[in-house]
């Protein structure tokens, strides 16, 4: 009888101890989460993103403080300033520099001499090309147009229109305004129209 009473008294005591330890652990977790660290990061790492993880802090560049007199934004002025679009930026034409830019960005489709026979032309005009199309009315795949022969078409547009074309791209041709500076695009256009040392004179 005595041992039975002793068991009844011990069971609630063990349960109370477990509840107390649980509450104490929860309190410690909340206290840690509310504490402020010098790193300004989350003390309890509950996020999986890389930039929240303390082990990846060494991947971050140094955090430089802005100058004391800096401001977040300063107005550029009224409409007379905001709508004043600067002229296209150009630089003195160098056929060697322009030829390099053409060879890197254009020759793969338009060819070294601009005749539209670059190494990518065969892939663009294949009926297995991504750009080939088919329809119910025309089940045969219609191939994409071959790259333009620049020697034959360069005079059909003004230099300004060529600039807009290269800057914004046309279908397969990428928008070079996202890859090249204005000066570099103008170099390519000058190379396109240069009949003495430019396009069509490469061997």
What are 52-72's pLDDT values in tens digits?
555 665 556 666 777 888 777
pLDDT of residue 60: 60
| The dihedral sign for the CA sequence 155, 159, 160, 164 | positive
d(C-alpha 71, C-alpha 178), whole Å: 29
Topology of the domain covering 95-193? Cytochrome Bc1 Complex; Chain D, domain 2 (1.10.760)
pLDDT tens sequence across 155-200: 888 999 999 999 999 888 889 998 999 999 999 999 999 988 888 7
Residue 182: exposure state from Cβ atoms within 10 A (0-12, 13-18, ≥19): middle
Cα-based distances in Å from 124 to 69, 140, 143: 55, 16, 8
Which of 172, 174, 166, 175 has its CA nearest to residue 123? 172
d(C-alpha 10, C-alpha 118), whole Å: 89
Cα 38 versus chain centre, distance: 33
pLDDT of residue 139: 67
Report pTM.
0.55
Spell out the domain ranges in the chain.
2-59, 95-193
């Amino acid at each position: 009888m005595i041992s039975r009473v002793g068991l009844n008294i011990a069971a609630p005591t063990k349960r109370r101890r477990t509840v107390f330890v649980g509450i104490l652990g929860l309190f410690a977790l909340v206290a840690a989460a509310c504490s402020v660290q010098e790193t300004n990061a989350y003390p309890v790492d509950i996020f999986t993103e890389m930039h929240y993880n303390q082990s990846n802090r060494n991947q971050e560049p140094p955090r430089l403080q802005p100058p004391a007199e800096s401001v977040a934004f300063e107005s550029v002025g009224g409409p007379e300033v905001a709508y004043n679009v600067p002229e296209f930026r150009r630089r003195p034409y160098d056929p060697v520099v322009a030829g390099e830019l053409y060879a890197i960005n254009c020759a793969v489709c338009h060819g070294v001499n601009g005749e539209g026979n670059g190494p990518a032309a065969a892939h663009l005009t294949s009926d297995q090309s991504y750009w080939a199309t088919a329809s119910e009315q025309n089940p045969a795949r219609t191939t994409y147009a071959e790259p333009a022969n620049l020697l034959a078409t360069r005079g059909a547009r003004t230099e300004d229109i060529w600039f807009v074309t290269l800057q914004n791209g046309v279908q397969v041709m990428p928008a070079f305004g996202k890859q090249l500076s204005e000066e570099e695009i103008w170099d390519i256009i000058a190379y396109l129209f240069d009949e003495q040392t430019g396009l069509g004179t490469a061997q």
